Chains A and B, each alone.
Chain A
Amino acid sequence: MKKAKLLLSTLFVLLAVTLSAQNRVVSGTVIDQYGDPVPGAAVIVDGTRVGTATDLQGKYTLNVRGGDALRFSFFGMRDVLVTIGDKTVIDVTMEDDTIGLDEVVVTATGMTRQEKTLGYASTTVRSDEIVKGHAADALSGLSGKVAGVQISSAGATGTSQKVIVRGYSSFSNNAPLYVIDGVPMSNGTMGYQGLNNSIDFGNQASDINPEDIESITILKGASATALYGSRAGNGAIIITTKRGEQNEDIKVTYDGAFTVSSVLRIPNIQNKFGQGWFYSYDGDNVFENYSMTENGSWGNLLDGRKVEWRPGASWYAGADPSYTTFDYKANSLKNFYETGFEANNTVTVQGGSKSTGFVVSYGNIYSNGILPGNNDYYKRHNFSFRGNTRIKDGLAWLNYSINYVRKDVRNAMTGQGGSGSTIYQDILQYPVNVDYAELKDWHSIYNNADNFYTPYAQNPWWILDNNYSTYTDDRVYGSAEFGLQLCKGLQFIARGGMDVTNYIEKDFNNLWTFNPGSYAENEGASAENGTFQQYAVRSSQLDGNAFLNADYRIGTDWSIHGVAGVNINQRSSSSLSGSLDGLAVSGWASFLNTSGATPTAASSTSMRRLFGAYAQADFGWKDAIYLTLSARNDWSSTLPINANSFFYWGANASVILTDLFPALKGNVLSFLKIRGGYGKTGNDAPTYYTSTYYSLASGGFSFGSLTFPLNSFVGLAKSTRIPSTDLKPEISTEAEIGIDARFFDNRINIDVALYNKTTENQIVSATLAPESGYSSAVRNVGLIRNKGIELTLGLVPVRTRDFEWNITYTFSKNVNIVEKLWDDVTEYAIYGLSSGPQLKSIVGQSIGTWVDYKISTVEDKTSPYYGYTIVNATTGLPTYDNTTYETLGKADADFMMGLNNTLRYKNWSLGFSFDWRQGGLMYSATKGIVLFNGNAEETMYNLRDPWVWPHSVYSAGGTYVENNIPVTGYYNVNGAYYPNYNYVQYRTELLDKTYIKLRELNLSYRFPTKWFDNVSWLSTIELGIVGRNLLMWTPKQGLIDPDMTNYGNDLGSQYGEYYSAPSTRNIGANIKIVF
């Protein structure tokens, strides 16, 4: 981008400068903070009109007479003033003006605009900020840095990334549209996200190599994205790649980073009670609750005595007995994880001939995660070629790019084990006196399948080596653009893009079998027959745009810019998959490895098309008032064929008061703009919602199912969803106003945006009561309002030649209200298990509202027990009303804040950023399991002596009697913590998501350029260390990272985590060399 401004500045300089006779020669080089030369920078004797411009190597020579200082200026960078004195060489380093006025942003058409002219909120982040954290993807470095945008990651490298702009507004799709160099990019979420054996292979937008990116612009409001029509209802992420310029010397850049990672959060667990399940308190030291088979800690108080454990080997296989001390093994869980690492390399070659500029880059990432061994890795190769050619001196031009991405990933499944145990579920189920390190050798006679200490789980070390998912893809995406200057101010541009991915996913759960007569068999362990699934998927997106682009100035006051064009888009996918349940041979992932079952095959294809026509006009008056009008009509294949046309529009305006009334401008106020916009965008329907179909029937039950073909019979069944024949796209209507004020020569910078967005005609599969004969109906429903405030505050407390401190603070608060659902319906279920808290959309409340059955209390105000919990007269545990829900809270955060600091001292740069998210509730199965198995700290209450549920009564003969039944009176003490027995515990599995994270800390040092003056092949070396997710503070819970989820990256992920992978803390070093 910077270099794109070269021409402009040079022109400016030439106009401004009058050459006159000078008597002294000063020369030097102007470089930017990365050591790159700054060509075209203006070098002017301050206070005069004497000056020149730097050449392509950033060098200048100037005859100086009179004047005290040289002023160096360049578009998008901060001016530098240097006293001349008697110097003859003046080298200058110029810095990007991070909060500059003349920031250039990319708009919906892919055209650039000066930010100050925009009537809507947009945030542009430049390459240095994007790559600072040296993460494998481009967006995670922006967490907390962009007001109004929530960015979080499900876990380790390669897992899916959630980007939500201005709150959830849709039940089905809240992801923004990603656009690279004017072409939409596929953003499928790979793997399977859900309850059983889920596996997260990330979303495709993360595939792009961050080093290839020049800038990312986030368009938030509807008036900014209306031109994208039915695909940009949730904002747009506009990515601009680095570009080679004509006549540019070849430059080679190497970026390398090496990062180590460790598990960020190990759940806090109790350290008082050991292995066992049926703890019965007897007040003395009788050691009778110890059980060698249990995978929970409901046994005796840990007293350090020597106990036999893992008895299978000695009882059934003739080995020596195995002993351990009955005490808390402090690092047991921690010992399970190892230090992961990630190596990240990119080589970029950039240059240009007379007519063509190009960039070629190759990047690779090898990441080995925190699970032991080579069981979780992420390998990625990125090849990119991008070029541009000017034809006939710019009368026509070509832009073209082609990228190839290859990924090889292996990871452990998360969620609840279905067809094979999952690691995170099983490692939490252990007695605290067991040390995982001792179970590591799963071949050992003490730890193998025959003799694993508990019959209720598999050895996690074995699971890790034997149950896994792998993912391999080949992705090619690219674009070609042809532009033609039709006449002065009028261009024709045709742009085509394609994005094709082929991937293969394999899910393998190995055989877990034991010998007849073994410990495992005698204790009732269940064998696993082994499963194998493979999916081969091809997905593609083709996109074409043709438009006219007009740019005119009328007189001195008016400017007009117009765009009109058409767009076609086609997205398709096809998959072939197979599934085998029942393996013959251990460790062989193949459909040939069947113990008798016939592998089942499935295939699926889908295709959607979209045609759009659009136009936009910008008017500018006196470079102070701007008005933009845009309109688009879409025809979508996923809507009913006779009603598939939809119209969107947007309008926005901005007034730069400091330019309109120059008197306002002074030492205090440097810039003031007010802006406002109003617009509509949409979300079209998923495919095949408009007709019904029949598929092979099956019958399901608790674990497993009964499927056709069966005994040579085959049967079909109609889909239980009612299709819609009058489906409309979701429409968001948004109004926003904003103010952008800068003070003290941009030292203080405030940007505030207020928005109010309503989204209606949500496309849902609305749940129906089964007695309707269906399970759901496709329909347009609802009206959801998101309103909020976004604040960005920039501060430069110190700015000297050598030292500068930049602070950016962001704050966003979004209030989400469901105003209407449909008919008289006031609730819509987002997600929930059959028992316990449900995540619902409720009219009058947030789109993600937590509800659960009301716990019964005495409601008679005249009763002496008013407000007391009513318990079951047999069990002494709270009862509940299964016809009434009560609201427990919402999933959304109350507010989010980010605090980012950059300190630069000479060649040193230090950056750190905090991210604070306040409030919101999530479900945590981790919490559920540690409550269930007695590892939760709460279960130490009263040292597990009997106690009576506080403030409770039971009903006897129509009157309330104060409860005197100890919780252990009916169930064992564990019953009080097990929600199946004590329903009230379900709600304790909802955790407060509040956290403050030290997201990023980086320190870098750039070797002074003068060191390389005599080395022609080397121009810059920069070294850095970086930390990501270094610290996390969660005031309300000590179990998990609240960003963890195995439910993907859309609304469903607000549910929380069901044995998700933990997130990681990363520390690394990096180097950048420019040749």
Chain B
Amino acid sequence: MKRTLIILAAALSLFATSCNKWLDINKNPNYISEADMSLLLPSVQLRTAAKVGYDLSLYGTFWSQYVVQCNSTNQYYTIMTNDVTNSTFTSTWSYVYASIFPGIKEILEQCEAKQDVSNFQLEAKAMLAYNLYLMTSLYDKVAYTEGFLTESQTPHFDTGESIQATLISLLEEIRAMSATEVAADELLNPSSSSDMVFGGDTDAWFDFANTLYLKVLMRDFAANSGKIQSLLNEGNFLTEDAAFDNFEDKADKSNPFYESDRRQLNTTANIRACSDILAVLSEDDPRLEYFYDQNPGGVFAGAAYGQNGEANKTSRLALYPTEAVYFGTVDEALFLQAEAYARLNNADAAEIAYDAAVVAAFARVGVPAAAAALFLVDDYAFEAGTPEAMVEQIINQKWASNVHGMPWESWFDINRTGYPTRGKTITAFSGVLPAGQYPRRFIASKTSSDYNPNAPAPEEVNVKMWWQK
């Protein structure tokens, strides 16, 4: 009896084992279960480029008042009229949090466990700092302490001011890295086929970090003037554009703004030129031809901001399928230096930086330095003055250079410096907001208020952030 039981039990367990083996087939055969940092970095950069190149470009282009909505279509009318809600900005938020940050985090974790990959660490940290900078610039309060550093499903948010401190220490960590060690690691474990921005040029990444550091410090100039001064003295800023320049003129492969508005949308007429640009740029500025398509009459023509541009009377914003998406530009780095020198009341240094910035801005859109030089002795000539007057001039010119480039930075600048001044330099138009109120931020995402009880109550679009004027 006992023996029978044993045999029975053995047979049963054998059966159970083979049965479990037969059932053990639940690994997804269609995908791969591990990914190396060298395959994660391109994803982080591509997704950042998709968000920056579309969401930020679109809102930046409108809210910097470079363009208006066309009268015969209405795709972006609510953007121009500031008629936005908390569901308007969900995509940016979820891409950065659910796709970009986790990728960065995984690269950094892999770096911790591996030797000789400080180059990847540098690149990932720089992408982290850049995305965090964008997020706090857009949404103010963001979840970092709990949202990035720990695995909470309902993280509390950090204030904009504390993220500022986080950014500063993050960038200082990067600056503290040994450039020689990073360069050596780049030889051992090259990131050249992973880095879609600088192709593994680690020095350029340090320059990118320094430029971003300067930009972050300028948010609170008074508090950081010492750091700014020494950073200016170091002078290691971008000398080549931090450009995501990988596009092809093919569906799903082209510049995101172009892809969505020109290739995929059912009309290409939406975005018309705003005449405000002529408040700063000369009508003869050759860059206008690059910035805007000609109107049917063959000249640049725009509508005042808030007006619907007539399809057959106004120029359309030019978009190019292979135009790069910029995370940083040489002209921006120079304009930042010019502004910093102006605030330090060093008019000479400001002027040198300003002139170089304008030349770089011309160069970036394919106009030779000689053409820029003509304007620098004429319409765009730098005028020394009070620091504030110099800043206004610098920011106005920076604004005008950014129609193609980093239009969202122009919107940040308007909010930070007040330039170009609405009602004075450019049109004052509040849309659905109370008179004199303008968009200051992205409204916190609906997906946060719906699913995270610890998310703060969303602020309206016209509520100022701590660094804004």
Residues of A within 8 A of B (CB): 277-278, 293, 417, 421, 455-457, 522-526, 529, 581-582, 596-597, 603-609, 611, 635-639, 641, 644, 687-688, 690-695, 697-708, 710-720, 767-775, 777, 824-825, 827, 829, 834-835, 872-875, 882-883, 970, 980-981, 983
Contacts and interface: CB of A to CB of B under 8 A. Distances in A.
Given A694-B34, A707-B253, A771-B448, A981 B78 contact: yes
A525 B39 contact: no
| Secondary structure call for the A interface | loop
A525 B49 contact: no
A417 B264 CA distance: 11
Interface stretch (B90-98, B220-228, B347-355, B384-392): B90-98
A593 to B, nearest CB: 14
Nearest to A767: B451
Given A693-B33, A713-B196, A714-B42, A700 B50 contact: yes
B362 interface: no
B194 A769 contact: no
B196 A701 contact: no
A981 B24 CA distance: 54
A713 B194 contact: yes
B23 A715 contact: no
A131 B452 CA distance: 53
B155 to A, nearest CB: 5
B250 A701 contact: no
Most A CB within 10 A of own CB, among B47, B54, B251, B455: B251
Nearest to A932: B74
B83 A980 contact: yes
Contact of A882 (B86, B251, B431): B86
Contact of A703 (B40, B153, B265): B265
A711 B253 CA distance: 9
Interface in B1-33: 19-20, 22-33
A72 B48 CA distance: 83
A911 to B, nearest CB: 48
Closest 7 CB pairs of A and B: A699-B50, A524-B269, A715-B42, A715-B43, A697-B43, A703-B264, A769-B452
B366 interface: no
B268 A769 contact: no
Interface in B435-469: 443, 445-453, 455, 457-458
A293 B72 contact: yes
Given A697-B43, A718-B102, A637 B55 contact: no
A773 B39 contact: no
B363 interface: no
A453 to B, nearest CB: 13
Nearest to B455: A769
A701 B98 contact: no
Interface string B261-304: 11111111110000000000000000000000000100000000
B143 interface: yes
A702 B23 contact: no
Interface of B: 19-20, 22-35, 39-47, 49-51, 53-55, 70-74, 77-78, 83, 85-87, 90-91, 93-99, 101-103, 105-106, 142-143, 147-148, 151-155, 157, 193-194, 196, 246-248, 250-254, 256, 259-270, 296, 311-312, 430-434, 443, 445-453, 455, 457-458
Given A713-B196, A835-B87, A596 B98 contact: no
7 contacts: A581-B250, A637-B26, A692-B33, A769-B450, A771-B97, A882-B87, A882-B449
A276 B333 CA distance: 49
A459 B373 CA distance: 52
Nearest to A766: B451
Contacts of B267: 455-456, 524-526
Nearest to A828: B451
A713 B42 contact: yes
A801 B86 CA distance: 72
Given A522-B312, A772-B154, A699 B22 contact: no
A663 B148 CA distance: 78
Most B CB within 10 A of own CB, among A456, A695, A701, A970: A701
A775 B50 contact: no
Contacts of B41: 715
Contacts of A767: 447, 450-451
A874 B432 contact: yes
Given A688-B26, A693-B33, A710 B269 contact: no
B166 to A, nearest CB: 15
Contacts, number: 297
A148 to B, nearest CB: 34
Given A609-B25, A694-B33, A769-B154, A875 B432 contact: yes
Contacts of A720: 98-99, 102
Contacts of A829: 450
Contacts of B85: 835, 882, 983
B19 A611 contact: yes
Given A771-B142, A772-B452, A774-B153, 16 more contacts: A455-B269, A605-B29, A641-B24, A691-B26, A693-B33, A699-B99, A703-B259, A704-B251, A716-B35, A720-B98, A767-B447, A770-B94, A772-B155, A827-B450, A882-B87, A882-B458
B43 A702 contact: no
Contacts of A824: 453
Given A611-B19, A770-B94, A694 B24 contact: no
A719 B28 CA distance: 12
A338 to B, nearest CB: 27
Most B CB within 10 A of own CB, among A457, A638, A715: A715
Nearest to B20: A641
B26 A604 contact: no
A323 to B, nearest CB: 23
A611 B93 CA distance: 44
Contact of B25 (A456, A637, A768, A772): A637
A706 B257 CA distance: 11
B153 A777 contact: yes
Contacts of B194: 713, 715
B390 to A, nearest CB: 36
A294 to B, nearest CB: 8
A352 to B, nearest CB: 40
Contacts of A691: 26-28, 33
Contacts of A719: 31
A883 B39 contact: no
Nearest to B452: A769
A1016 to B, nearest CB: 58
A702 B54 contact: yes
B97 A773 contact: yes
Contacts of B449: 882-883
B365 to A, nearest CB: 21
Given A717-B99, A771-B448, A699 B49 contact: yes
A960 B453 CA distance: 32
A880 B191 CA distance: 50
Contacts of B50: 698-701, 705-706
A606 to B, nearest CB: 8
Contact of A695 (B31, B102, B142, B311): B31
Given A641-B20, A699-B50, A980 B78 contact: yes
Contacts of B433: 874
Given A706-B253, A768-B153, A770-B448, A635 B26 contact: no
A704 B45 CA distance: 18
A403 to B, nearest CB: 28
A873 B263 contact: no
A981 B431 CA distance: 12
A439 to B, nearest CB: 18
A980 B85 CA distance: 10
B274 to A, nearest CB: 17
A641 B264 contact: no
Given A637-B23, A687-B26, A874-B432, A704 B264 contact: yes
Contacts of A703: 259-261, 264-265
B250 A582 contact: yes
Contacts of B457: 883
